């Protein structure tokens, strides 16, 4: 990792949160983004009756950056895991920060690249008409996210749940469960409470490819 950039000139943007404080809630309109200076920040989503950990961010990392794109509701809740100090920026002072700090700008550029790619990948899933193909494609996406070379492995253990799969596939939980049950019946997957084992990921790759080709016709 490159050395932390000198941000002393941005002191006036410093905000602090105590351990346990919510920084922002999912669904709130957002117009600020943050650069962590000290402490850790946990990103969670409440799905059904469970709080799901999405990520834990460390000093030097950013969050809430989608807010500078549009005033869309926040897509997750952020909680200070320790006492946290962060720089808080909005669209107006964003440019000042970027111009004065190429290292941060570059970091954000890479973050945007990743987000664009993630969203495009997600979009590809949603363009599939067939629910089972969508669910299978979610597994492929998850494997790609783990930087797995799917051609080199067969069985993969995914730490995911039906609710998560439903979210990524953009289909209701009941339908997702149905698709997964069908895969279980075909012995293509094993369903556990906290994980799903895909027995032959290449088989899913072929399945999704064929559905996609079929749709293009």
Q: Which residues of the chain form contacts with other proteins (CB under 8 A)? A: 11-12, 14-29, 31-32, 46, 49, 51, 66, 68-73, 77, 79-80, 85, 88, 90, 95, 98-99, 102-103, 105-106, 108-110, 112-117, 119-120, 122-124, 126-127, 166-167, 170-172, 216
> Tokens 């922002």 identify what position?
24
37 vs 183 by CB, closer to other proteins? 37
15 vs 197 by CB, closer to other proteins? 15
Residues 6+ apart with CB under 8 A from 25: 74, 77
What residues are paired with 44 via a beta bridge? 53, 77
What span, in angstroms and rounded, lies between the C-alpha atoms of 186 and 108? 44
Write down the least CB distance from residue 85 to other proteins, Å: 6
What span, in angstroms and rounded, lies between the C-alpha atoms of 214 and 167? 25
68 vs 198 by CB, closer to other proteins? 68
* Dihedral angle computed from the Cα positions of residues 142, 192, 172 and 74, in that order, rounded to the nearest 10 degrees: -60
Write down the least CB distance from residue 83 to other proteins, Å: 10
How many Å separate Cα 173 from the centre of its chain? 19
9 vs 109 by CB, closer to other proteins? 109
């Amino acid at each position: 990792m490159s050395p932390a950039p000198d941000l002393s000139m941005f002191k006036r943007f410093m905000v602090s949160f105590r351990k346990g404080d919510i920084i922002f809630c999912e669904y709130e309109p957002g117009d600020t983004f943050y650069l962590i200076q000290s402490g850790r920040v946990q990103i969670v989503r409440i799905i059904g009756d469970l709080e799901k950990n999405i990520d834990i961010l460390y000093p030097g990392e950013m969050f809430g950056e989608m807010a500078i794109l549009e005033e869309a509701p926040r897509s997750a809740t952020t909680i200070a895991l320790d006492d946290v100090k962060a720089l808080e920026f909005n669209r107006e002072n964003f440019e000042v920060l970027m111009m004065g700090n190429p290292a941060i700008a570059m970091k954000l550029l890479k973050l945007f690249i990743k987000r664009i790619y993630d969203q495009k990948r997600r979009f590809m899933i949603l363009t599939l008409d067939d629910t089972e193909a969508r669910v299978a494609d979610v597994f492929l996406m998850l494997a790609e996210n783990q930087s797995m070379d799917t051609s080199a492995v067969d069985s993969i253990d995914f730490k995911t749940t039906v609710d998560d799969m439903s979210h990524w596939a953009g289909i209701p939980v009941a339908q997702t469960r149905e698709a997964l049950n069908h895969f279980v019946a075909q012995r293509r997957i094993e369903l556990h409470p906290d994980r799903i084992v895909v027995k032959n990921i290449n088989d899913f790759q072929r399945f999704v490819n064929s559905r996609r080709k079929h749709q293009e016709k």
